Structure 1
Amino acid sequence: MAPVPTPAAEPDDDFDSYVGLTARAAEERARERGWTTVRALPPGTVITLEYLRGRINFEVADDVVRRCWKG
Structure 2
Amino acid sequence: MAPIPTPPREPDDRPEAYVGLEQAAAERLARERGWSTVRSLPPGAIITMEYRVGRLNFEVRDGAVARSWKG
Distance 2:55 2:14 in 1: 14
Tell me the number of residue pairs that the alignment of Structure 1 and Structure 2 aligns.
71
C-alpha deviation, 1:68, in angstroms = 0.1
Task: Verify the 8 A CA contact 2:40 2:57 in the aligned structure 1.
Answer: yes
Q: Aligned residue for 1:26?
A: 26
The Cα offsets for residues 3-23 of structure 1, whole Å up to 9 and x where unpaired, read as 111011101111111000011
Q: Percent identity?
A: 65
Distance 1:18 1:2 in 2: 39
Which amino acid is 1:13 matched to?
D
For the residue of structure 2 that corresponds to 1:9, the secondary structure is: coil
Task: Verify the 8 A CA contact 2:15 2:56 in the aligned structure 1.
Answer: no
Which amino acid is 2:59 matched to?
E
User: Which TM-score applies when normalising by structure 1?
Assistant: 0.95
Q: Aligned residue for 1:16?
A: 16
Structure 1 ranges of 4+ moved more than 3 A: none
The Cα offsets for residues 15-64 of structure 1, whole Å up to 9 and x where unpaired, read as 11100001101001100110000000000111121111110000001110
- Alignment gaps of 5+ in structure 1: none
Q: Give me the CA root mean square deviation.
A: 0.7
User: Which TM-score applies when normalising by structure 2?
Assistant: 0.95
